Amino acid sequence: MSHVTPTPVRTQWIDLAPGFAGYLALPPAGRGPGLVLWQEIFGVNAHIRAVAEQYALDGFVVLAPDCFWRQAPRVDLGYEGEDRQRAIALMQAYGAEPALADIAAALAALRARPEVGGARVGTFGYCMGGRLAYLAAATAGVDAAVAYYGGGIHGQLERAAAIACPVQFHYAGHDDHIPPAAIESVRAAMAGKPAEVHVYADAHHGFNCWARASYHAPSAALAHGRTLAFLAQHLL
């Protein structure tokens, strides 16, 4: 007779501001440094929730804000067909001012959690969420930031001057959305700052997501290891 062991990670949805919620994953110890996890355009879906739990197992208090709460609260989308088209439309309607407001509110809510208790706070994200992590580094006083294939970062390089914390960037070598020239522009903008830029030669956009056709396990494992080493250095 087999037994299913319950996960040592506790999760719940919490309110961050009126109407604005986030998915919170607590580490086995119950407390630790904070991490805000920014979603892709597909919402706080099964993959993002699982990533939150993955990093909670690594010892972090992880909060994944529901960025599209104004348009479609708790939207949970797949990666193809109509779901993809809806995700693109939601992303296109998500303006700069709401994004910056969400960054400030989410960081404030996480810092106020007793489980964080004055510990350091970082941020990370994927695709659209990578851009939000970069913006959080520029605007929200985080202690570290990690951006996975952050779409549009190369269009907001004027923000780089305001970044003082360590930042780690992960890019795919084959990305229809982020050409090599864009990666090099990010590298140049971050020169002289505590920044790392990693390019995964055999990977495509979305390589970290095991639910996507572009998932590339060797690159995802290497990037995860680098991310944990980076966060351990700067947050733990």
What's residue 112's pLDDT? 97
Three-state secondary structure string covering the chain: CCCCCCCCCEEEEEEEECCEEEEEEECCCCCCCEEEEECCCCECCHHHHHHHHHHHHCCCEEEEECCCCCCCCCCECCCCHHHHHHHHHHHHCCCHHHHHHHHHHHHHHHHCCCCCCCCCEEEEEECHHHHHHHHHHHHCCCCEEEEECCCCHHHCHHHHHHCCCCEEEEEEEECCCCCHHHHHHHHHHCCCCCEEEEEEEEEECCCCCCCCCCCCHHHHHHHHHHHHHHHHHHHC
Q: List average pLDDT for each run of 10 residues in the chain, which is 236 residues long.
A: 78 96 97 98 98 97 98 96 97 96 98 96 98 98 98 95 98 96 97 97 97 97 98 96
**Rounded (5°) CA angle 215-121-231:** 50
What's residue 137's pLDDT? 98
The class of domain 10-235 in CATH terms is alpha beta
Residues annotated as part of the active site: 127, 175, 205
What's residue 2's pLDDT? 63
CA distances from 20 to 56, 72, 107, 228 (A): 21, 11, 13, 28
CA dist., res. 99 & res. 136, Å (int): 10
